[in-house]
A = this chain, B = another copy of it.
Amino acid sequence: MKLDDMTQRCGEWLRGSGPEADIVMSSRIRLARNLADFPFIRRCTPVDRQAIVKAVDKRVLKDAARKDAGLDKILLIDVNKLERVDRQFLVERQLISRELSESEGAAAVAINESETFGLMINEEDHLRLQVMHSGFDLTGAWERISRIDDFLEAKLTYAFDDRLGFLTACPTNVGTGMRVSVMLHLPALVLTRQLEKVFRALQKISLAVRGLYGEGSQASGHFYQISNQITLGRSEEELIEQVSDVVPMIIEYERKAREFLIKESQKDLHDRVSRAYALLCGAQTISSEETMDLLSSVRMGVNLGLIHDLEIPVINKLFIHTQPAHLQKIRGGSLDRADRNIERAMYLRQNLRPDGNGSSKN
């Protein structure tokens, strides 16, 4: 398994199945862990950083027993050796954070073949484990990551305090070190202008709302990531329960908004969806932002039965494959913004209407 093999594939979490997959794109749990034998990252020497990567590789990734913990076919990627476009590629696939992609000391990420598991080494903490499942499946993700975490804990010595729990570089992660998040596709709540109301309610119960690419990112394509902000003073199960309890309510709001749109303005909705699809198939040059917005309308259209000749996994894939680094990897060369917009339009035409000759040349 090599990085370049991933180009044409998709993470398993994009397969568009799993419970409530029409609205819940993915469920993700990440755990922040640190090794007791090393200072926190900001105080690490270059030698320390290298030693951490080595320790994890030798004690965890090369251990034969890892397969029993569900760590099959693992690829360890040395982030330092990656070109800029490859780092960005991993960010777009949600396998590493923007922070790790910009790191200068020794840093790595271990991922499995289906991309459901990721282990960042030397990000803000020594270890950041994540498990990402398609659809609304926090229970499955939790079972999986627990098993992996137990395996790692048996091989490494975690920095742990009996009173506080897991120790982390930033106090906001102390305790469980856990972030539970679900990525929701909420186009109807956007169209009916009800999103603000929902978000205010979420903030009151200390849940955070972010865009597709985590902290500080804009919500594009009408994707919203809901996650816990509190990590301390509650058990992992309680934190998962809090998110698990609120997500069905948001799903219900989104479904009601879709029903309302279908009932009150079916023609306008159908028109919006159909025009979005037409533009994606017809554009000769298109920005990433416009692509996300149009794909969002099309995704809703497929889920509402307004478009029949498209599958959700194709659309999910396009959200990621039309990102700048993916386009360049697929095309196999460096492209400036204008050329990317042209390449993106071509890629969309080829993937949305693979058998159609299109209406115009190129």
Contacts and interface: CB of A to CB of B under 8 A. Distances in A.
Counting every copy of the chain, the complex holds 2
Interface stretch (A76-84, A88-96, A127-135, A272-280): A272-280
Contacts of A282: 274-275, 277-279, 281-282
A360 B274 contact: yes
Q: For chain A, which range describes its interface: under 10, 10 to 19, 20 to 34, or 35 or more residues?
A: 20 to 34
A345 B284 contact: no
Nearest to A270: B284
A273 B282 CA distance: 9
Contacts of A277: 282, 359-360
Contacts of A45: none
Q: Which of A271, A342, A357 has the most CB of B within 10 A?
A: A271
A361 interface: yes
Interface stretch (A22-30, A168-176, A197-205, A301-309): A301-309
A271 to B, nearest CB: 4
A339 to B, nearest CB: 10
A281 B362 CA distance: 19
A85 interface: no
Contacts of A361: 270, 305-306, 308
Contacts of A241: none
A285 interface: yes
Contacts of A274: 282-284, 359-360
Contact of A278 (B271, B278, B310): B278
Nearest to A280: B278
A289 interface: no
A355 B342 CA distance: 28
Nearest to A268: B285
A282 B282 CA distance: 10
B268 A307 contact: no
Interface in A252-295: 267-268, 270-271, 273-275, 277-279, 281-286
Interface in A167-186: none
Contacts of A305: 361
Interface in A346-362: 357, 359-362
A357 B355 CA distance: 14
Given A267-B342, A278-B278, A342-B267, A360 B283 contact: no
Interface of A: 267-268, 270-271, 273-275, 277-279, 281-286, 301, 305-310, 338, 342, 345, 357, 359-362
Given A274-B284, A277-B282, A277-B360, 18 more contacts: A267-B342, A270-B360, A270-B361, A270-B362, A271-B283, A271-B285, A271-B345, A273-B360, A274-B360, A275-B279, A275-B284, A278-B279, A278-B283, A281-B282, A301-B360, A305-B361, A306-B361, A308-B360
16 contacts: A267-B284, A267-B338, A270-B284, A270-B360, A274-B282, A274-B284, A274-B360, A275-B284, A278-B281, A278-B282, A278-B283, A279-B282, A281-B359, A301-B360, A305-B361, A309-B357
